[in-house]
Amino acid sequence: MGCGSSKVQSEVSMKGYVSVVQSLVAFTKARSDDNEPRKHPEVQSGCWFRTALQLESNGRERPVRDGRHRVKSDRYKDRFDSRVTARYDIKALVGRGSFSRVVRVEHRATRRPFAIKMMEVLAPEAREVCASELAVLQRVNHSNVIQMIEVFQFPQRVYMVLELATGGELLDRVISRGHFTERDATRALRMVLAGVGYLHSLGITHRDLKPDNLLYYHPGADSRLLVTDFGLATFGGVTAGIGPGDKESDSGWPLRTTCGTLEYMAPEVLLRKPYSSSVDMWALGAIAYVVLSGSLPFEDDSRTRLYRSIMRGKYRFHGEPWPSVSNLAKDFIQRLLFLDPATRLTADQAVHHPWVATMAASSSMRNLHRSISQNLRKQRSRSSTQCPSRTRSSADRSSSVSNGLMRPPSSVTGEHLESHQQKM
């Protein structure tokens, strides 16, 4: 399987996009002495990443070895504007991407830990990437969605201050628990659905939901689970029934960009049809499948066969632990993985599905942990020895960090799709 990369333009709300881009361009043309940091109102809760692992929104962040943190942070301290370092003490570099560096910092007055994502915005492409992310982050404020504390904008760089989380990824938590039942799965999925439902209520489609982007705020058992990584998120697609030539109104324009992570990508995206926020619900169906089994519903070493399986919605509840999983849980997954986007559950409907609403009260409390862990280990071992079929877009040139493994990204372009569709 070959690996490649492509640049795919993300859509954002016209109002949000234009205002942020105009702001960034204005800062770029101005002298730095004339600029003051623009601050986002402080909010509570949220996180962006787990320390020293995946941190990105557009270029996937590469981890930095612990022993090099101090050297790396010292090197990048000089790049930080004095008005940023006056408020935050730079502690360690924890990741880097195409246009960005992420460092762990400490607020000088409160001593609270945060993360600062520094983005270079001189290049037009970088400005667009930054504008897309800011347009979304400046709108969100929910306990199950990553929060931005404030933002500093200068001619060459933009600094996003984000809350720091150390609880790890969803699947890492499943493995570390030692005991995992359907009730535990519903508890996690309810938090994810709350976050996704909130995003959809704002007219935001995430477009890259997957376990890697679902992070716990802290290691405790009562930690909130957070939706993160808004590099591909956009305003638009929330109105149902998008057709060729149709236009969105307040939610932006029709979503057409082929982007996301292949194993969680809805068929209509692969088919390059206009699509809606129901692509997020398809991804949640795939996530639920993985959480309950440790396996992907759509997975194949052949990319052509993988495309075919996704576009046909061809998957099975095969192997362990599926015989021990309730029919109600399977029904929940099936209702999210419908080929017809209009028939998929919405986030609100999914929350009220009997399996989720009752927290699997009628399901067996059998421990699924052993089978899930074994399947995850097999999947990760396979992924580490071959070029994965994962897909990102929009300036994703750096290595992808997923579940602790360094993975080079691969992309699905229009040419790739046409080639594979011809084979099918």
- Per-residue pLDDT tens listing for the chain (424 residues): 333 333 344 444 445 444 444 545 444 444 333 333 343 433 333 333 333 333 333 334 444 444 555 555 566 677 889 999 999 999 998 888 778 888 999 999 999 999 999 999 999 888 888 888 899 999 999 999 999 999 999 989 999 999 887 899 999 999 998 999 999 999 999 999 999 999 999 999 999 999 999 999 999 999 999 999 888 898 987 754 444 344 333 444 579 989 999 999 999 999 999 999 999 999 999 999 999 999 999 998 889 999 999 999 999 999 999 999 999 999 999 999 999 999 999 999 999 999 999 999 988 899 999 999 999 998 888 776 665 445 555 434 332 322 222 233 334 444 455 555 555 5
Report whether 117 belongs to an annotated binding site.
yes
Catalytic residue among 208, 229, 280, 396: 208
How far is it between the farthest Cα atoms of the chain? Answer: 66
Long-range contacts of 269-276 (CB under 8 A, 24+ apart): 270/307, 270/310, 270/311, 270/412, 270/417, 271/311, 272/414, 272/417, 274/242, 274/243, 274/244, 274/246, 275/237, 275/242, 275/341, 276/205, 276/237, 276/238, 276/239, 276/240, 276/241, 276/242, 276/341
CATH 3.30.200.20 domain extents, the chain = 78-164
Instruction: Say which CATH architecture domain 168-238+260-382 belongs to.
Output: Orthogonal Bundle (1.10)
User: Closest Cα to residue 50, out of 174, 175, 216?
Assistant: 216
Q: What's residue 292's pLDDT?
A: 97
Query: β-strands 157-163, 113-120: how paired?
Result: antiparallel
The pLDDT value recorded for residue 164 is: 87
How many alpha carbons lie under 13 Å from residue 336 in its C-beta half-sphere?
Answer: 31
Q: Length of the chain in residues, anyone?
A: 424
208 is a catalytic site residue = yes
Q: Where in the chain is the domain with CATH 1.10.510.10?
A: 168-238+260-382
Structure tokens of 12?
């954002």
Specify whether the CB–CB gap between 165 and 122 falls below 8 A. Answer: no
The secondary structure of 146-189 as a DSSP string is --EEEEEE-SSEEEEEEE-B-S-BHHHHHHHHS---HHHHHHHH
CATH (residue range 78-164): 3.30.200.20
pLDDT of the residue at 419: 54
User: Distance (Å, rounded) from C-alpha 80 to C-alpha 252?
Assistant: 34
Q: Cβ(58)–Cβ(231) under 8 Å?
A: yes
pTM listed for this prediction: 0.76
Q: What's residue 418's pLDDT? A: 55
SS3 of 362-380:
CCCCCCCHHHHHHHHHHHH
Provide φ and ψ at 299, rounded to 5°: -155, 130
Alpha-carbon gap, residue 424 to 412, rounded angstroms: 16
Strand intervals (E) in 73-143: 88-96, 100-107, 113-120
